[in-house]
Amino acid sequence: MLRHALRLAALAGALTAAAPASAEAVLRIAMTAADTPTTTGLPNNGFEGMRFLGYPVFEGLVLWDLTRTDRLAGLRPGLAESWEQAPGDTKTWIFHLRRGVTFHDGTPFDADAVIWNLDRYFKPDSPQHEPAAAGITRARAPIVAGYRKIDDATVAITTTVAASYFPYMAVYVLFTSPASFEKAGRDWAKVGTLPAAGTGPFRITRVTPREAVDLARNDGYWDAERRAKVDRVRLLPIPEANARIAALRAGQVDWIEAPAPDAIPSLKQAGFAITTGSYPHVWPWFYNSGATNSPLKDVRVRQALNYCIDRDGLVAFLNGTAEPSVGWLKASDPNFGNPQNRYKLDPQKGKALLEAAGYTAKAPLALKAMISTSGSGQMQPLPMNEFLQESLKQNCNVDVSFNVVEWQVLLNAARAAPDAPQLQGANTLNVSSPSSDPSVMARYFSSANVSPKGFNFAQFKDDAFDRAMAMLAESTDPAEIAAATRAAHERLVDDPPWLFIVHDLNPRAMSPRVKGFVSPQSWFVDLTLVSLQEGATR
């Protein structure tokens, strides 16, 4: 409690010090991150970083459509007005850039700026190469092979393989003004505090590491119909769930991510709005199957663990803010398929599989899990993992120990090789994952994307899965793509690279002052839709 009190005192000081002089509409958001995400144009801290310091400030050629709640978020034109595969060459995509767009610093967004940023991510010997941002981007778009300027308003990007889903990867490649890099003396560490210039509906006005990042509405935003309604946004890292709740109750913030489930009834009773909604999110343990002598090399062990956990009990523990996960996709998804394994709590089957793999009551399976204290999509990782620890022990006599680290440390570990020292011998990593589209499926599970090259931390290699993904990537027929997706997903269930645990229902708590918020079926949100009603009280 003392740590929470000290954190809130620091928060109050930050709010007071940064309060604007005029009566501006300032939306104050408490993130789960332990630190402010990086502000050079490609933020760290996972998709929470992208949610608040990615898309609101820096944009991609392709953007998410975050205006609907009735279906998975799709794509819309962003800094490119349109795109298509080159005639006769399915590995090359042509992007037609939006004309007349400028960065926040007034410099033009054009093909030269696109190539400059692509060099920043994909050309290690370029003067502007940014290793941290490059590592994140290359993991999210691992099939970029080359790119070139066609003219001032057209660029071509070539991929290593034909990929019908490449626009879903392009959405994660964000663009920063080259002038920001020059202004900072070609030092990315200084770019982050300039602040850096993007093209988005908000611009960064101040960065105070560990305390806050301030944004202001970009009144010159290129899409006049999507200009923000609030004057300013203040983003505050508050990793402890109880501290976020205390800040909301005290009126120090207007919006908190991931409220503690046991506090939701009292927050509702006090007049705060609680939003939840289905979105493409799975909360698993990544198996470290590739490590030397890993017990998880045996598919029977990987399947057994999926029969040994009480998902329904965990959902009840979370006050209904999640639903059981028995695959990468939700069981209700039409692309879930018809796998042979239908995971549920079945200790008898789990124990039989473990015994067949050599793990008995006298020689039980022992696992070391690396988990975080908080983070993007991590829900309530400490109590949830303690629940799983007890569930695995009671149901199947599996011993689990934890290595607890900060979220960014865990994310970095997920991109490491299986025996990397930074894993400290971890057999599993608890890293929340999007499940939004086939490009993400390829990124996490294709054998071509094993870590440290890509995000396939489990070193998953299943020939039937790879064949299905190749068919999906090469086809433009929706029926063929759906059939291939189902076939690929069936392999993820029957040859599980992960322990599938729950799907998050994305809870947030907000002051009644917050109006216009849309909870899309996405990891991201559209802050331009949000307004503040003055005078509203709890």
11 pLDDT above the threshold of 70? no
419-436: average pLDDT: 96
Type of residue at 329? L
3 pLDDT above the threshold of 90? no
> Which residue, 406, 421, 491, is CA-closest to 452?
421
Mean pLDDT of the chain: 94
What is the C-alpha separation between 186 and 348, in angstroms, rounded?
61
10 pLDDT above the threshold of 70? no
Q: Which two tokens stand for residue 210?
A: 């560990």
pLDDT digits (tens, 9 = 90+) for 243-252: 999 999 999 9
What is the C-alpha separation between 341 and 135, in angstroms, rounded?
35
Q: Which two tokens stand for residue 285?
A: 């343990």
Maximum Cα–Cα distance across the chain: 71
15 pLDDT above the threshold of 70? no
Confidence of residue 4 (pLDDT cuts 50, 70, 90): very low
pLDDT value at position 454?
86
18 pLDDT above the threshold of 50? no
State residue 249 phi and psi, 5-degree precision: -65, -35
Confidence of residue 272 (pLDDT cuts 50, 70, 90): very high
Least confident range of 19-33, 295-309, 514-528:
19-33
Contact 372, 378 (CB under 8 A): yes
* Angle, alpha carbons 485-90-139 (nearest 5°): 60
What is the C-alpha separation between 339 and 286, in angstroms, rounded?
20
Angle between helix 299-307 and 347-356 (nearest 10) = 160
401 pLDDT above the threshold of 70? yes
315-335: average pLDDT: 96
pLDDT value at position 476?
85
Q: Which domains does the chain have, with CATH numbers?
A: 58-188 (3.90.76.10), 281-504 (3.10.105.10)
What is the C-alpha separation between 195 and 173, in angstroms, rounded?
19
pLDDT value at position 507?
94
pLDDT value at position 534?
76
pLDDT digits (tens, 9 = 90+) for 469-511: 999 999 989 999 999 999 999 999 999 999 999 999 999 999 9
123-128: average pLDDT: 98
pLDDT digits (tens, 9 = 90+) for 102-114: 999 999 999 999 9
Q: By percentage, how much of the chain surpasses pLDDT 90?
A: 93
Confidence of residue 22 (pLDDT cuts 50, 70, 90): low
Q: How many CA atoms lie within 13 A of 58 on its CB side?
A: 26
Contact 393, 305 (CB under 8 A): no
192: enclosing H helix or E strand: none
